[in-house]
Structure 1
Amino acid sequence: MHPKSEPRLSVAYGSTDARVLDPTNAVVVDGVNARPTIYSSAVLLVSKSVDFDDTFDRIEKAAKGFGWRAIAEDERECAVDLRFGVRRVRLGVRPGKASQAPDAWTVLQYLRAEGLENVRGVSLEHVLVPAPHNQPDPHNQPDPHNQPDPHNQPDPHNQPDPHNQADAGTGYDPLGTGGRQPVAFVGARPHRRSDQELGDRTRPVVAILDTGCGHHPWLDFVQRDVRLGDHQVGWGSEVPNSEVDGDQVGRLDGLIDPVAGHGTFIAGLVHQACPDADIYSWRIVPPDGPVTETDWITALAQIAELVRLYRDGDPRGRRIDVLSLSISYYHETPADELFDGTLYDILADLSANGTVVVCGAGNDATSRPAFPAAFAPWTDGQGPVPVRQGELPIVSVGALNPNGTDAIFSNAGPWVRAHEVGAGVVSTFPVAFNGGYQPAQLTEFMGRRRSSLDPDDFSSGFGLWSGTSFAAPLMAGRIAQHIFGNGAPGSTEDDVKRAWAALEELTSLRR
């Protein structure tokens, strides 16, 4: 019998469970060229595509050699019957032993040294990061030992005053220069036609897996609790909701959390690009931002199952025309023969069933492939996976400035196949957000209050933000709008053709 632990929510990036892989001092195996990544230090993932018991026995044997034990965690109930997914194996110190803290990379490399077959279906549990351009990303630091700890985001109290500083660097980060800040929107609300106005026309469906969607008068139609049977997709009320309360992590200073409002902002962009679209919003990103791979993969597998059930005519299924993903990670060994395909298998299944998967390319101004965006077909043909016949491709989206130039922060390379405005865009924000910053100047004159701009009072319901996080949903909305104008939903083959017509119009992708 395998020792087991109780199912639980995965520990996210801000905890001591996360570690930066530093290739300069990590365990090395001949022929394996690793690059930096962030991973759960004491967790290995075993894909459902391989025999779990046999794989666990190999992991347990390898761990024992270091004085560690392996604990097979039970799957969460919502994941047991899914076709795709992973199961976690947690490493710990053996009772009565003293050893170094367990390290999943060390065990994985030991298995590789014994033969590549030993690691088929086994991988690190990566930590994924949303992609607004207002937080540094530690994946690409040259040497994490000589850098500030990436697990603890810089304290805004120690930053230059954002009210009076001009950014001498990229021009996007500080409040007031392209980072997250309030704005007043004075235009008309996008016109969403009623069901009566649409008549027999069927609304396109755009799904978002992110921080959720908060309250905003534009977004009262968003469906926030689409389930797979009796199971919640993503996180429920047991996990704090950053779209309801913007300050839940860090010091007791009232400052809005790093990605609070992210999902609401994204939903607003989809609505602006395709006002008549239905939007499903699921929550998988915690208030402090990063999320572990297991939780993300489980939610994606649930979404793939909803689409499959729809194609099979099952009333529990849901049609999804476009899935927008604004979260990514860097894989440490993407050139490996056994590069983990669990995530790609899920996305490929969605694509084969007529769903266009749109991914933000990332904000590190690097050509290093960020996943899942880098699953898109590469222009040089050197991508890690081939596009399967009859499937839609992954759409990777880089960010443009308002003037149409590439945003300086946007990732680039042969794997980035589309571009959309993602810098200085305006969209919806939860109307209840009013953070701990105060106006730099506040006074009264003739009975009226006067002040400078309050940099984190979003009571207007709108904000300005920058990132490939926002280029992706804007592209997703444009694709949905094109699909909407090109006929009604039909067979899988017909829907794939309609989607391809949109991609050929809006991206560099070609059949």
Structure 2
Amino acid sequence: MLDPTNAVAVDGVSARSTIYSSAVLLVSKSVDFEDTLDRIEKVAKGLGWRAVAEEEPPHSIGLRFGVRRVRLGVRPGKAAQAPDAWTVLQYLRASSRDGACGISLEHVLVPDPHNEPTPHNEPTPHNEPTPHNEPTPHNEPTPHNEPTPNYGYDPLATGGRQPVAFVGRPPRRLSEEELAGRERPVVAVLDTGCGPHPWLDFVQRDVRLGEHPIGWPAGVPNSEIDGDQVGPLNGVIDPLAGHGTFIAGLIHQACPDAEILSWRIVPPNGPIAETDWITALAQIAELVRLYRAGDPHGQRIDVLNLSMGYYHETPEDELFDCTLYEILADLSANGTLVVCSAGNDGTARPFFPAAFAPWSDGNGPIDLKPDVLPVVSVGALNPNGSTDAVFSNSGAWVRAYERGAGVVSTFPPTFQGGYQASIATEFMGRSRASIDPDDFTGGFGTWSGTSFAAPLLAGQIAQALFESGRAGEVEQDVKRAWSALESLTSLRQGTEAR
């Protein structure tokens, strides 16, 4: 964790905390790699370290966007402090005004359900005890005689997830015959994947870029099928197991006729290495580019949902790394609307990529052109739809809000963890029990987080696109997407440009 109070400092660079891979620097494909590696090696050598370029994985070779890893280590025959990527980056900054151009830390991203640790490795204020979630200020029970350690978002104290019974009708999806020439909007999700569920048989889980899978290949254990991948056999459902399935169910509820593409990049216990995430996004951008070029290997994507992010340490810096935004801008230029969750730390600190959205006060890091689609940042509302969830990030950079607390969606019905009902007995030949807090064999649950506000809005946007007609040339699709945004958010075409 970068602690600005004792980290290496450079005049004019005001850093904030973040979590990063301590011995890895990323080099953008937008700069000359060999020249950049040479500069990194020189700085590292002066600190008693070495810098070695990692081999580029086959699935990222040839992509227009992306990064390459440079790994730091102690030089043979030397004794030195453990290598630190931030220190090298600061020395490069100090060497010249643009000494760190195209070089960045490898941030660790976190998804955004309400049971995830914050970037400071502390429990979030809405799922674990914190200085703010003790009993009421007078240490007395609330008017309902209950303590309020979770502000009502986790009544069973299981991390936010809990089973529910869905008793309504499934979303009605039109058959191909009933479509009668209408075109299904395409919503893509980069997350933990999508597990089996009767509602989600149509979800495409293996869309590739050429011969290469996007995200994790099929051989990597799938937390949406087996929810106990971390510490196997301990009987506890992993913190993020079911995350992608839950998201897909929300999109399906909001737009039953959407095509959903699902890719896996989020591990079952949460943190995501930025390199893997960037590479998957670069592959997705290439899929969309190929589609616009008329290549049959391409794929139209109307909306891309990203329910994860990180806090950047120097977003105000002129050398703020641009690799991520270059990919998002390319997707936008090709007619894909990127919808991002705002984060769950109850802070106004910009959370990326959501904070690449146009800021309502005009102070954001990105200059948006009037004919380009914006990044859409989404905060969470409570079930009443009128108040913001206390955990939701907010600020000038959050431009849309949707219900994200206590929402109901799909869970893999194979999930049944090791917790048991607190009360269980038999009476007159029938079993009686309290709710088993991690028995999702009914296929549905409730969860809270901006992770779920974002796909709910993404699905609503897809429904608006579905009702507005067929996709066309990129200019027409951008116009249709803006029309959907203006009907569902505070964003307005033209007034956001600067």
SS in 2 for 1:380: coil
Question: 1:296 matched to which residue of 2?
Answer: 277
Describe the SS at the equivalent of 2:468.
coil
Q: CA deviation at 1:468?
A: 0.2
Q: Tell me the equivalent position of 2:425.
A: 443
CA contact (8 A) 1:273 1:481 kept: yes
Distance 2:155 2:37 in 1: 47
Q: Can you list the C-alpha shifts for 1:399-444, whole angstroms capped at 9, x where unaligned?
A: 0001121101000000000010000000000010001111101111
Could you tell me which amino acid in structure 2 is paired with residue 398 of structure 1? G
Aligned length: 476
Q: Distance in 1 between matches of 2:13 and 2:157?
A: 44
Q: 1:95 to 1:178 in 2, by over 3 A?
A: closer
Residue 378 of structure 1 aligns with which residue?
Answer: 359
Indicate conservation of the 8 Å contact 2:4/2:15, yes or no: yes
- On the 8 A contact 2:424/2:433 being kept in 1, the answer is yes
- Aligned: 1:233 with 2:214: yes
Q: Would you say the 8 A contact 1:166–1:177 is kept in 2?
A: no
Matched, 1:134 2:115: yes
> Does the aligned pair in 1 maintain the 2:404–2:450 contact within 8 Å?
yes
Shift of 1:449: 1.1
Asked if the contact 1:43–1:91 (Cα under 8 Å) also holds between the matched residues in 2, the reply is: yes
* CA distance, structure 1, for counterparts of residue 67 and residue 23 of structure 2: 15
Q: CA shift at 1:240, angstroms?
A: 2.1
One-letter amino acid matched to 1:262: H
8 Å Cα contact 1:134-1:173 kept in structure 2: no
Question: C-alpha displacement at 1:154, in angstroms?
Answer: 8.7
CA contact (8 A) 1:84 1:301 kept: yes
The letter of the residue matching 1:70 is A
CA distance in 2, matches of 1:173, 1:497: 41
Partner Cα separation in structure 2 for residue 186 and residue 104 of structure 1: 52
- 2:187 and 2:304 in contact (8 A); partners too: yes
For each residue in 1:62-81, what CA deviation from the matched residue of structure 2 results, as whole angstroms up to 9, or x when unmatched? 11111110010111101111
Q: What one-letter code is carried by the residue in structure 2 that aligns with 1:308?
A: R
1:340 corresponds in structure 2 to 321
Shifted more, 246-255 versus 76-85: the winner is: 246-255
Mapped partners of 2:433, 2:473: distance in 1: 58
Distance in 2 (alpha carbons) for counterparts of 1:410 and 1:402: 13
CA distance in 2, matches of 1:177, 1:245: 18
Report the Cα offset of residue 166 of structure 1.
Answer: 5.0
Residue among 68, 80, 86 paired with 1:105: 86
Question: Which residue, out of 205, 211, 228, partners 2:192?
Answer: 211
Question: What amino acid does structure 2 have at the position aligned with 1:469?
Answer: S
Contact 1:167 1:177 in 2 (8 A): no
Deviation per CA, 1:309-344: give whole Å up to 9, x if none.
Answer: 000000000000000010010000000001011000
How far did 1:251 drift? Answer: 7.0
Q: Is the 8 A contact 1:170 1:409 kept in 2?
A: no
Residue by residue over 1:167-187, the C-alpha shift from the partner in whole angstroms, topping out at 9 and shown as x without a partner, is 334322453699110000000
The answer as to 2:406 corresponding to 1:419 is no
> 1:271: which partner in 2?
252
Q: 1:369 aligned to 2:350?
A: yes
Q: In the alignment, which residue of structure 2 is the partner of 1:506?
A: 488
- The answer on whether the counterparts of 1:171 and 1:177 sit within 8 Å (CA) in structure 2 is no
Is the Cα–Cα contact under 8 Å of residues 389 and 405 in structure 2 kept in the other structure? Answer: yes
Alignment of 1:423-502 (within 5 A): 423-502=405-484
Q: Which structure 2 residues correspond to residues 310-325 of structure 1 after superposition, within 5 A?
A: 310-325=291-306
Specify every segment of 5 or more residues in structure 1 that has no aligned partner in the other structure, as ranges. 1-19, 142-146
> Unaligned 5+ residue runs, structure 2?
135-144, 494-498
Contact 1:167/1:173, CA 8 A, preserved across alignment: no
In the TM superposition, residue 481 of structure 1 has moved relative to its aligned partner by: 0.3
CA contact (8 A) 2:119 2:310 kept: no
The 1-side partners of 2:218 and 2:49 are apart by: 35
Output the amino acid matched with 1:222. Answer: V
Deviation, 1:448, is 1.2
Q: How far has the Cα of 1:165 moved from its partner?
A: 7.8
Matches within 5 A, 1:156-167: 167=148
Tell me by how many angstroms 1:248 deviates: 1.3
| TM-score between both structures, scaled by the size of structure 2 | 0.93
Structure 2 Cα separation of the partners of residues 342 and 251 of structure 1: 36
Query: Which residue of the partner structure matches residue 221 of structure 1?
Result: 202
- Partner of 1:61, secondary structure, is helix
Out of 20, 26, 50, the position equivalent to 1:39 is 20
Task: Note the aligned Cα RMSD (angstroms).
Answer: 1.9
- Look up the SS of the partner of 1:450 in the other structure: strand
Deviation string 1:172-203 (CA, Å, 9 cap, x unpaired) is 24536991100000000000011011021110
Shift of 1:487: 1.2
Identity of aligned residues (%): 74
Superposed, 1:77-226 pairs within 5 Å as: 77-139=58-120, 167-173=148-154, 175=156, 179-226=160-207
- Separation of aligned partners in 2, 1:100 and 1:247: 37
Which residues of 2 match residues 379-398 of structure 1 at below 5 A? 379-398=360-379
Deviation of 1:238 (Å): 3.4
1:63 aligns with 2:56: no
Distance 1:339 1:74 in 2: 25
Residue in structure 1 matched with residue 138 of structure 2 by the alignment: none
- Work out the CA distance in 1 between the residues paired with 2:199 and 2:455: 16
Q: Among residues 362, 371, 392, which one is paired with 1:410 in the alignment?
A: 392
Choose from 220, 223, 231 the match for 1:242.
Answer: 223
2:216 corresponds to which letter in structure 1? W
Counterpart amino acid of residue 59 in structure 2: C
Deviates most, 387-396 or 31-40: 387-396
TM-score (norm 1): 0.91
> Equivalent residue of 2:213, what SS?
coil
CA distance in 1, matches of 2:222, 2:45: 40
Query: Do the aligned residues in 2 keep the contact of 1:55 with 1:118 (CA within 8 Å)?
Result: no
* One-letter amino acid of the structure 2 residue matched with residue 28 of structure 1: A
Distance 2:416 2:19 in 1: 32
2:366 aligned counterpart, secondary structure: coil
Separation in 2 of the partners of 1:75 and 1:388?
34
Q: Distance in 2 between matches of 1:460 and 1:72?
A: 49
Q: What do the CA deviations read for 1:450-483 (whole angstroms, capped 9, x no partner)?
A: 1110000000000000000000000000000001
Question: 2: CA distance between counterparts of 1:62 and 1:37?
Answer: 22
